[in-house]
Amino acid sequence: MDKTSDKVFVFDTTLRDGEQVPGAALTKNEKIEIAKQLEILGVDIIEAGFPISSPGDLQSVKEISKIIKKSIIAGLARAVRKDIDACAEAIKPAKRGRIHTFIGTSDIHVKYITNTTREEVLKRAIDAVSYASKFNDDVEFSAMDAARTDFDYLCKVVEEVIKAGAKTVNIPDSVGYSTPEEFGNLIKRLFNSVPNINKAIIAVHCHNDLGMATANSLSAILNGARQVECTINGLGERAGNASLEEIVMTLKVRKDIYKVDTNIKTEEIYKTSRLVSRLTGMPVQPNKAVVGSNAFAHASGIHQDAILKKESTFGIMTPKSIGIPGHELVLTSRSGRHALKHRLSYLGYKIKDKDLNDIYVKFLEIADKKKEVFDDDLISIMQGSGQKGKDIYQLDYFYVATGNKILPTATVQIKKGDKLLKDAMTGDGPVDAIYKTINKILKIDLKLTDFQIKAITKGQEAQGEVTVRVAKANKEVTGRGISTDILEASAKAYLDAISKLEDMK
């Protein structure tokens, strides 16, 4: 593709690279939920998983391929035929599918990972692309650790895989080693040195080990790259990947410099960020660019005064541009269905009349416990809507006796289908007592690796959100619970995690 094209394709790898973060494992249903939102967001290519890695991952990619119609669905495969076979099977139902194959090309990868020679790696790369092309016309090749690969050898690899049928060639900074000037120059030199480079789209995939993933990606775009691989909230291995929201909003705000567009509907960015954070259990830092809770906050008196007079004095983009609604309307238990539906519509949710009653019941449950229901409460209701019936285990009842001179004791009743299971246990604290009781009831032994509490909204009556991470054998999952009662939220989060473990069997 001509590097002067004004379109940059967004390749989202949240469901593959993003899920490789320890504890961020997603169930099949959660992956499908994120994939649907990525399609709404306008992502061009969704890398849905690594099919050979597990039967569950293959099945998830296959199910996503059946559901998603607009975005291209990609699966990852090493330059190994059995990997490509699994990937081809997984994306077969897709309206538009892609096989993404890769092999390390830097000398350190050639020596210590493939344990072979440059010549053999080149042969494997060509074979992988040729073989993948028999299954699918859309084949992408990645030269893993390209940023540390000998330049002349990298040119040869790029030229040969394009000859073999690669429609997209990815130049990754796999270890986050490069700098913006250096990485941009690498892309520029490739365009000037590889004779057939205009027959493929040149992509980049940058990691954030030195905090330069977004800057390196943008530098590559300036020098001709026309596909950028990224994740929501910058999720990914180690320090993460280039952040989709940062790249897209930079291209939009500074179009005077980059002179390119994307297909991303930026008004869907915030909702997508919140969804990914909730399902992975990975909180977004308050000062995170674009989607952090402080991204549009102004505490300085000088800043506040200036922005009230003219927003552009200290505001280069508006909250609405990424989907954060303004002029919050507070609802109460006296608010009717019409007011609820109107506000949800303003927040971007299209509610069918047949679903409104169920949502209204959940709204009243919160409204009865709080004087005021805020937008974040409504988003919480909607993000959890329909999930209750999917949980294998549900909290039916709990009671905790605790105090500074009382041995904390919990009585818990769990609903599994039509059965009610009940028992009691003591613990080091109220939450520990609840968790030990649940373990006893379900006859399980789990390792709690992380426990986090945060308020969804402000004030004494704020809903509390508890996120837990639990491990069993080689599986680690995240559970989430919400309630105005933090102990209830803790119990729900733990049961949510256990349900996910059961679902992964």
Sequence length of the chain is: 505
| Structure token pair of residue 317 | 């983009």
Considering only 115-124, 226-235, 335-344, 450-459, which range has the smallest mean pLDDT? 450-459
Residue type, 425: M
Confidence band for 385, pLDDT divided at 50, 70 and 90:
low
Token pair recorded at residue 145: 């650790």
User: Is residue 500 over pLDDT 90?
Assistant: no
- Whether 17 is covered by a domain: the verdict is yes
Q: Give residue 98's pLDDT.
A: 98
pLDDT of residue 121: 98
Q: Which residue has the higher pLDDT, 30 or 178?
A: 178
Task: Tell me the C-alpha distance between 243 and 233, whole Å.
Answer: 6
Asked whether residue 344 is assigned to any structural domain, the reply reads: no
DSSP 283: P
Q: Are residues 305 and 228 in the same domain?
A: no
Q: How far apart are CA 45 and CA 12, in angstroms?
A: 6
Q: Decide: 24 and 235 in contact? Cβ < 8 Å.
A: yes
**Do 314 and 413 belong to one domain?**
no
Residues 271 and 302 grouped into a single domain: no
Higher pLDDT, 234 or 501: 234
217 lies in the same domain as 299: no
Q: What is the pLDDT of residue 386?
A: 44
Higher pLDDT, 333 or 121: 121
Looking at the fold, whether 120 and 183 belong to one and the same domain comes out as yes
Q: What are phi and psi of 36, to 5 degrees?
A: -60, -40
Structure tokens at 454: 């945060």
In a shared domain, residues 247 and 98:
yes
Asked which of 222, 248, 280 is the last residue of a domain, the reply is 280
In-domain check, residue 331: no
Number of domains the chain is built from: 3
pLDDT score at 100: 98
What mean pLDDT is predicted for residues 268-282? 89
User: Which 3-state string (H, E, C) describes 398-414?
Assistant: EEEEEECCEEEEEEEEE
C-alpha span between 215 and 210 (Å, rounded)? 11
Share of the chain above pLDDT 70, in %: 91
Name the nearest CA neighbour of 250 among 321, 329, 177. Answer: 321
Angle at 286 between CA 310 and CA 320, to 5 degrees: 40
Edge-first strand listing for the sheet containing 406-416: 394-403, 406-416, 419-426
Instruction: Choose the final residue of a domain: 249, 280, 311.
Output: 280
Contacts of 239 (CB under 8 A, 6+ apart): 176, 207, 208, 209, 211
From the list 238, 248, 244, the residue with the least C-alpha distance to 208 is 238
The C-alpha atoms of residue 174 and residue 302 are separated, in whole angstroms, by 42
Q: Which residue has the higher pLDDT, 5 or 485?
A: 485
Query: Residue 94 has which token pair?
Result: 């897709």
Give 132-161 pLDDT, tens digit per residue. Answer: 999 999 999 999 999 999 999 999 999 999
Residue range(s) defining the domain that contains residue 425: 388-503
**Which whole number is the average pLDDT over 255-274?**
95
- Residue 306: predicted pLDDT: 55
DSSP class per residue in 453-501: EEESSSSTTPPEEEEEEEEETTEEEEEEEEESSHHHHHHHHHHHHHHHH
Higher-confidence residue: 343 or 395?
395
Q: Is residue 369 part of a domain?
A: no
Average pLDDT over residues 431-446: 95
Is 251 a domain residue? yes
Residue 445 CB partners (closer than 8 Å, separation 6+): 439, 472
CATH number at 424 reads: 3.30.160.270
> For residues 170 and 204, is the Cβ–Cβ distance under 8 A?
yes
Rounded Cα distance, 176 and 207, in Å: 4
Higher pLDDT, 79 or 469: 79
Note the pLDDT of residue 365. 84
The pLDDT tens digits of the residues spanning 51-81 come to 999 998 999 999 999 999 999 999 999 999 9
State what percent of residues in the chain have pLDDT above 90. 64
Are 241 and 311 in a shared domain?
no
Question: Between these two residues, 194 and 27, which has the higher pLDDT value?
Answer: 194
In a shared domain, residues 187 and 303 = no
What's the pLDDT at 389? Answer: 41
Same domain membership, residue 156 and residue 20 = yes
- DSSP readout, 215-251? HHHHHHHHTT--EEEEBGGG--STT-B-BHHHHHHHH
Q: Determine contact, residues 197/191, Cβ cutoff 8 Å.
A: yes
Residue 340 in any domain: the answer is no
pLDDT, residue 176, reads 97
Whether 458 and 422 map to the same domain: the answer is yes
Q: Which of 295-309, 325-339, 363-377 has the lowest mean pLDDT?
A: 295-309
Same domain, 204 and 307: no
Weakest mean pLDDT among 57-61, 223-227, 331-335? 331-335
pLDDT at residue 387, as a whole number: 43
Does residue 364 fall inside a structural domain?
no
For residue 134 the two structure tokens come to 């028999």
**pLDDT at residue 208 greater than cutoff 80:** yes
Residue 278: exposure state from Cβ atoms within 10 A (0-12, 13-18, ≥19): buried
Residue 418 inside a domain? The answer is: yes
The structure's pTM equals: 0.83
Q: What is the pLDDT of residue 459?
A: 63
Out of 219, 248, 280, a domain closes at 280
What is the Cα–Cα distance from 10 to 260, expressed in whole angstroms? 12
Q: What is the pLDDT of residue 301?
A: 52
Q: Mean pLDDT over all residues of the chain?
A: 89
The answer on pLDDT for 131 being more than 60 is: yes
In this structure, of 27-36, 358-367, 437-446, 491-500, the range with the lowest mean pLDDT score is 358-367
Residues 60 and 194 in one domain: yes
Q: How confident is the model at residue 314 (pLDDT cuts 50, 70, 90)?
A: low
Residue 168's beta-bridge partner residues?
140, 201
Q: 476 or 390: which carries more pLDDT confidence? A: 476
CATH of the domain at 263: 3.20.20.70
pLDDT in tens, 98-125: 999 999 999 999 999 999 999 999 999 9
